[in-house]
Structure 1
Amino acid sequence: MAGSGEHIRALVRTHAAGDDSAFYSVALQVAAREARLGHNRLADDIKKAVEASRSAIPPSNVTRLALPRGDLAELLTASNPEVSLRDLVIAAPMSAQIKQVLSEQRQRRALLEHGFSPAHRLLLEGPPGTGKTMTASVLAHELSLPLFTVRLDALMSRYMGETASKLRLVFDEVASRRGVYLFDEFDALGADRSGNDVGEARRILNSFLVFLEQSSPESLVIAATNHRTILDRALFRRFDVVLTYELPDARQAGVVIRTRLGSLARGIDWRTVRRHVEGLSHADLVKSAETAAKTALMRGDAAVSVEDIVTALDARKAASVA
């Protein structure tokens, strides 16, 4: 009975973690045990149930998306992004840094065996809409990992001690389930509060720093912020990589627009378009391209015109400064 009890505990544990692969493995171990005891019909029934359940799940080369459960369900949202590195329009030096992070993660075993930790704590800072959140999605996709976005609204609490305990839950998950964990709008958590609230806010930040320092190199922890200047200075040295995002230059802006328009971008004078992109973020450019595309399609055209794009860009720029 001892062996049976261990199997039951393992089944409950793997089911609670949402780990189907481990759950089926334990189930097959139970089937093998029953077969050894001469319970062949029961063993066959268990095997058939496992095979039927497995066949109902579509194959994927991405780590299966196991949704957070219990208290974590309120703190994390999970996704399997489909955006790749080639979709990220950034400067060459930053692209090289991201590729280095990917290489270190892919070869983390070799690095750890020699006493080196792969880069796994990233701080992304820069204006809104410049690709920070998209970078987290790219890293998750390229490493075939789920992306877990931390819900700061659920994490932050006005009750003393609750936020720190919730942070511990998140970082326990970082250690137990390999993935990419994104703290978006991180300044809500990591802002320098030394000038006013030095109580609970300071304790929260100190807790985060401790957890970050001890975080598992098996997962990536990413903090993204639009406001570098208000972050506590103690944060920067705790991250392995700090990436600074900027508004796209004229060439990059053209690539963003052309990529979003796809086959609708035919015969465009891009030199004219580039004169209207200054001050717009990647997100602004995507929205402008979508507006131009819808204008052309509703007009019955199979391609956008330069005027469609320029009008959309100028309108977006006017709205952003209004």
Structure 2
Amino acid sequence: MATADQVKALIRSHGEGDDTRFYSIALQVAAKAARSGQAHFAQELRDLVDAHRASTAGGGRQNARPVPVARPRGELADLLGVTYPTTRMADLSLEPEVRHRLERVVLEQRQQDRLREHGFTPLQRLLLIGPPGTGKTMTARSLAGELRLPLFTIRLDTLITKMMGETAAKLRLVFDALAETKGVYLFDEVDALAGERARSNDVGEIRRVLNSFLQFLDQQESDSLLIAASNHPQLLDRALFRRFDLVVAYPLPTPEVSRTVVRNRLATMSPKKWAWGAIDEAAAGLSHAEITVACELAAKEAILSGQQHVTPAALVAALRDRRNMAHEDR
């Protein structure tokens, strides 16, 4: 049967006229009933949802944007930022293996009702790891865009406080929201929250916060997609990895991926002839984001000089500047 939180969420979404959220919560109730052996009730509830969706679908063209949910209010407004991305998977330049794994996530999310009917849950908890600028945050945006869901970004700077009890209470607020409002929830730079407990310079409060985070992950029951991202996976507690359905490692781009990034960003100002040998050499070791920035610098230089195309020499120079800057930072 429905939990107290789900009943409250149903009433709230009905009062706000948010049909998408109302149906989502109703299907969550049906899925829980099916897992509890109440197959007949679960099927009746699904049929009701399908019937009402069909009766309202003929009212005109459906808006491509997701129906806006109520924005976080009160203390939750300080913990969650919400956007409605339009980015899609096709907009990303990724390694084939990474793309394949993310496309599987999209497929399972879109077919989650079929999976739940057979007692399986879709991939719901993703851990994205890799160097900065390799596409982890953009992946969260793209998944939200593909699934037409809001993207909620957890603000760790306001989540983590000096008082452990306060942090755990705020975490509970976030996970309650995750269960109540379907969306993509991003814990970016999660190593700030889930660092290795065995570190000698750690303090007891941080360890207890991590334990709370792990418990909330274990107890999560919702249709939302939870994504955690880290630039420093070596700092993460080992127990965290077991809590995720899928761990995706993002490498620095290969020459082939680098060329795709360059072509996409300079599509309207591409050189008449590419000097790929020099470009590949200059881009080696740079992240997707750094290559993008270099392309933009070269393009703006061409525009301000009155040119219609970026020259290979200008692009190579911009890439080398970014590589020098990256080496200085390291």
Shared fold (TM-score greater than 0.5)? Answer: yes
Counterpart of 1:118 in structure 2 is 122
Could you tell me how far 1:20 is from its partner in structure 2? Answer: 3.8
Q: What CA distance in whole angstroms lies between the structure 1 residues aligned with 2:13 and 2:89?
A: 33
Q: What CA distance in whole angstroms lies between the structure 2 residues aligned with 1:217 and 1:139?
A: 17
| Residue 98 (1) aligns with residue 95 (2) | no
Q: What CA distance in whole angstroms lies between the structure 2 residues aligned with 1:59 and 1:21?
A: 14
The one-letter code of the counterpart of 1:231 is L
Partner SS state of residue 266, structure 2: helix
Counterpart of 2:191 in structure 1 is 187
Q: What CA distance in whole angstroms lies between the structure 2 residues aligned with 1:320 and 1:228?
A: 20
Q: What CA distance in whole angstroms lies between the structure 2 residues aligned with 1:104 and 1:11?
A: 25
Say which of 40, 62, 65 aligns to 1:62.
65
Which stretch has the larger CA shift, 76-85 or 265-274? 265-274
Q: What CA distance in whole angstroms lies between the structure 1 residues aligned with 2:10 and 2:123?
A: 34
Q: What CA distance in whole angstroms lies between the structure 2 residues aligned with 1:193 and 1:83?
A: 36
Say which of 203, 214, 220 aligns to 1:215.
220
The alignment's TM-score, normalised by the length of structure 1, stands at: 0.82
Partner SS state of residue 265, structure 1: coil
CA contact (8 A) 2:164 2:206 kept: no
CA displacement, residues 99-126 of structure 1 (integer Å, 9 cap, x when unaligned): 1111111111111121111110000000
CA contact (8 A) 2:164 2:209 kept: no
Q: What CA distance in whole angstroms lies between the structure 2 residues aligned with 1:227 and 1:175?
A: 28
Rg (Cα) greater in structure: 1
Could you tell me how far 1:216 is from its partner in structure 2? Answer: 2.7
Q: What CA distance in whole angstroms lies between the structure 2 residues aligned with 1:143 and 1:225?
A: 23
Q: What CA distance in whole angstroms lies between the structure 2 residues aligned with 1:230 and 1:10?
A: 37
Partner SS state of residue 226, structure 2: strand
Partner SS state of residue 97, structure 2: helix
Aligned-residue sequence identity (percent) comes to 48
CA displacement, residues 134-191 of structure 1 (integer Å, 9 cap, x when unaligned): 1101110000001000000010010130111101100111101100000001100010
| Residue 266 (1) aligns with residue 271 (2) | yes
CA contact (8 A) 1:146 1:179 kept: yes
Counterpart of 2:18 in structure 1 is 21
Counterpart of 1:297 in structure 2 is 303
The one-letter code of the counterpart of 2:67 is R
* Residues paired across the two proteins, number: 279
Q: What CA distance in whole angstroms lies between the structure 1 residues aligned with 2:226 and 2:98?
A: 18
The one-letter code of the counterpart of 1:175 is A
RMSD between aligned alpha carbons? Answer: 2.1
CA contact (8 A) 2:79 2:155 kept: yes
* Structure 1: gaps of 5 or more residues: 1-8, 26-57
